[in-house]
Amino acid sequence: MSHTVITTTTTTRTSGESGLNLGYTQTIPGLLKIGQLISLLIAFLCVFCTRGWPSWPAFQYFEVVTLWFLVAFLIFFLMHLCRLQTRMPCINWPLTEFFHYSVGCILILIASIIASANSGGVSALVAGSVFGFIATFLMAVNLWTSYSVACGPQSAM
């Protein structure tokens, strides 16, 4: 006598496991990332749309740095929004973000200082450097909050 066993597996998703984590956009780290993305986009567009730069290399550097970190922070934001960091546990994401924000904060601060020093009174270039400083401040706040997650005191179990 032979027996046949049929096993059926059913998976269901609860509302907390949906594809997008829209609740992240209402948290402090999510709002900081949105603010950084908006300020970097405005800073880049202010410099990109202006013609007649007083200092060509200074504003090329500003464009490259703001665009690079705009794309990088957009990737981090989308990773949190889609919960991709849970699917790649081999990478320490808080530490990765901490180092990226450290480098970004320093480079955008340098780019904003150079841009404001070489703006030549052109209002769009001054506005771009101001938004660069705003992005630097938001990155420093995000750096501070990610530091408490990545390198802060660990609770003893």
* AA identity, residue 2: S
Taking only the tens place, the pLDDT of each residue in 2-45 is 777 676 655 444 445 557 888 888 988 889 999 999 999 999 99
Q: What value, to the nearest 5°, has the Cα angle with vertex 84 and ends 20 and 155?
A: 105
Q: What's the pTM?
A: 0.78
Dump pLDDT digits (tens) for 102-154.
Answer: 999 999 999 999 999 988 888 889 999 999 999 999 999 988 887 765 565 65
Q: Give the count of alpha carbons within 13 A of 1, CB side only.
A: 1
Q: How confident is the model over 71-106, as pLDDT tens digits?
A: 999 998 999 899 888 888 888 888 888 888 899 999
Residues 94/150, Cβ–Cβ less than 8 Å: yes
Q: Is the distance from CB of 108 to CB of 139 less than 8 angstroms? A: yes
Structure tokens at 65: 């740095």
